[in-house]
Structure 1
Amino acid sequence: MGHRGCLSFYTRALKPVSHAISWKPTGRPQQTLASDVSRSGTGLHSGTSTTARLLPAMAGEGRYFVSGPRRARIPATIDHAMDSPLCTTLCGDGARVRTVEHLLSALEACGVDNCRIEIEGGDEIPMLDGSAKGWVEAIEQAGLCAAEDSSGHNMDKLAPELHEPMYLRRNDSFVTAFPSSNVQITYGIDFPKVPAIGCQWFSCFLNASIYLKEIASSRTFCIYEEVERMRNAGLIQGGSAENAIVCSASAGWLNPPLRFHDEPCRHKVLDLVGDFSLFAQNGWSFAAY
């Protein structure tokens, strides 16, 4: 929830600028999970119970989903992203998988470069509590190890390096990126008709420690007055006060307490990390934490 729908905005900014980005070695091997782990729960939009099983993958395979009756393989890359309301959706080989952003955000932040994700029971990732906290805990349970290719060799983890500033604007939204030796994200949101949210800004130098402490547990949010319209449109059938924080324009937060005073803005950073992880290819990461 949380007024998403900007994935195409990000990906359109990234696709045409390959000349402005190069990949540099980090001196560290690509990683994968040391064992498999699964989580089950309700899909946000479908309302059905689904299970996501996370398994180790070989170096260079990257992160990918296996979904649908034909067990289609859907790489978690920009080229497989499609426009969809209020969630990030990937498609390929006649199948799709929805609401992937929280899981991908956790995998990226925890340094899981290669992972096979099998979906059972539907085409949606379980929502859990509406944050990435449950996925971080699942990854910690599985543990990490260096990924190997089919010959038993490690592959170097690469990170993108931006060579020139980038700017893109659409309506009242914009994204700007500048070359930097560190990953720093500043995000702002403005909900003038919902005073309890209002205008918020959150900024941090992003690394695994900061992500785990300051971002992972922030939950998705929605505006109470918009719930009926979204449900009538076939969306958020599985949304509830258990997997989202709900704010009324007139009455404020309906299911407090918040985990952070600026939890909505922090959740936007969580989503952004997940969406930008689609820039990764063949085990290369959006950021080397």
Structure 2
Amino acid sequence: MRLSAAINSFKSSNLISWKTTGKLQQTLAGCIELSGKTLHSGKVSKVKIWPGFAGEGRYFEFHSNLIPASIDFVRESLLCTTLCKDGYKIRTVEHLLSALEAKGIDNCRIQIQSLDSEDTEVEVPIFDGSANAWVEAIEQVGRKEALDRCGNNVEKLAPYLSEPFYVSRNDSFMVAFPASKVHISCGIDFPKVPAIGCQWFSSAALDDSYEKHIACSRTFCIYEEVEHMCSMGLIKGGSLDNAIVCSAIRGWLNPPLRFPDEPCRHKVLDLIGDLSLFARSGSRGIPMARVISFKGF
């Protein structure tokens, strides 16, 4: 079971109730525009993020097609999170959505385009493999209260968990417990890659620690798996500039790491982005719970 299936199980579990956070929905105070090379296709794409109306949430616009950043539109894909609607695909959305969720941007229109106008799928730029570029851009333009199309503000809701939730596949699992605050823990285990090994990282994901300890953590890969991934048409745009690469024999090929447990911190970054897909109508996606994930959910 992949993460999308786990979140769908969570969504349909009848253990969730939506309650006010005591805050109002937010959006960007200005427009963000960034472009760069993508990880898997290797193409260049351009992203413009516009302020959005309260109650409309986060959604992508690609060739005039609107694709909500929702679990309802997730399709299974290797090594990235992909949204799909009416034959159009947006790939590798997790870093951008992680930054938007953590920074409290509840409503926005994410206009994305490839340099090839004939493409029916497009990918979010990878930059240095972290969420830093998005966080810095959000900080630069700022945040403001979102208003609906009638000029009214809207309360921000959050999903609350009423009972523990558990889902697993083999030795991978995700478990969530009711809590008064959001807390996320991720574990990874690479016994054949000693430089990584078994790691755990925990964070109160929506506080200031996101920028300092999570957003700057880069995606990683195993050097011995690169040729196989390339043969599958993946990581065409991958390089030592947008990922940290570890060899089972030689260790890290492009040190230094930003943190000793940077790979595990990046998994928390990804998980925040994926959980953001649980959001609806400008609500928060991450549930009010202690969430624990192990080995790649």
| Counterpart contact for 2:8–2:71, Cα < 8 Å | no
Indicate the residue corresponding to 1:255 in structure 2: 254
Q: Is the 8 A contact 1:202 1:262 kept in 2?
A: yes
Q: Which residue of 1 aligns with 2:265?
A: 266
Secondary structure of the 2:245 match is strand
Query: Is the CA contact (8 Å cut-off) linking 2:103 and 2:206 kept in structure 1?
Result: no
Alignment partner of 1:278 is 2:269: no
Aligned to 2:237: 238
Q: Deviations over 1:192-242 (max 9, x none)?
A: 000000000111222230111110000000000000110111000001101
Aligned to 2:61: 66
CA contact (8 A) 1:7 1:83 kept: no
Corresponding residue of 2:295: none
Supply the distance in 1 between the matched residues of 2:244 and 2:103 (Cα, whole angstroms): 25
Structure 1: which amino acid aligns with 2:133? G
Separation (CA, whole Å) in 1 of partners of 2:38 and 2:5: 24
Residue 11 (str. 1) matches residue 7 (str. 2): yes
Partners of 2:207 and 2:139 in 1: CA distance: 12
Structure-to-structure mapping, 1:118-157, within 5 angstroms: 118-121=111-114, 123-157=122-156
1:27 lines up with 2:22 in the alignment: yes
1:288 CA displacement:
8.4
Aligned length: 282
Which among 54, 57, 73 is matched to residue 80 of structure 1?
73
Give, in whole Å, the separation in 2 of the partners of 1:50 and 1:281.
27
Please state how far the C-alpha of 1:14 moved relative to its aligned partner: 1.8
User: Deviations 1:8-27 (Å, cap 9, x if unpaired)?
Assistant: 2432332321x101011112
TM-score (norm 1): 0.95
Alignment partner, residue 114 of structure 1: 107
Provide the residue aligned with 1:39 in structure 2. 34
Alpha-carbon separation, structure 2, partners of 1:13 and 1:38 = 35
2:130/2:215 contact within 8 Å kept: yes
The match for 2:46 among 37, 51, 64 is 51
> Does the Cα contact within 8 Å between 2:222 and 2:245 map onto a contact in 1?
yes
Query: 2 CA distance for matches of 1:208 and 1:118?
Result: 27
**Identity within the alignment, %:** 60
8 Å contact kept, 1:26–1:288: no
> Which residue number in structure 2 is paired with residue 189 of structure 1?
188
- Please give the secondary structure, in 2, of the residue aligned with 1:269: helix
Contact 2:30 2:50 in 1 (8 A): yes
The whole-number CA distance in structure 2 between the counterparts of 1:98 and 1:30 is: 26
Q: What 5-or-longer segments of structure 1 have no aligned partner? A: none
> How has the CA–CA distance of structure 1 residues 171 and 12 changed in structure 2, closer, same or farther, with 3 Å as cutoff?
farther
> Contact 1:7 / 1:88 at 8 angstroms: preserved in 2?
no
Q: Distance in 1 between matches of 2:178 and 2:246?
A: 37
Q: How does 1:162-181 map to 2 (within 5 A)?
A: 162-181=161-180
Taking structure 1 as reference, are residues 288 and 160 closer, same or farther at Cα in structure 2, changes over 3 Å only? Answer: closer
Kept after mapping to 1: 8 A contact 2:161/2:287: no
Q: Which runs of 5+ in 2 are unaligned?
A: 289-297
Between the aligned partners of 1:38 and 1:192, the Cα distance in structure 2 is 41
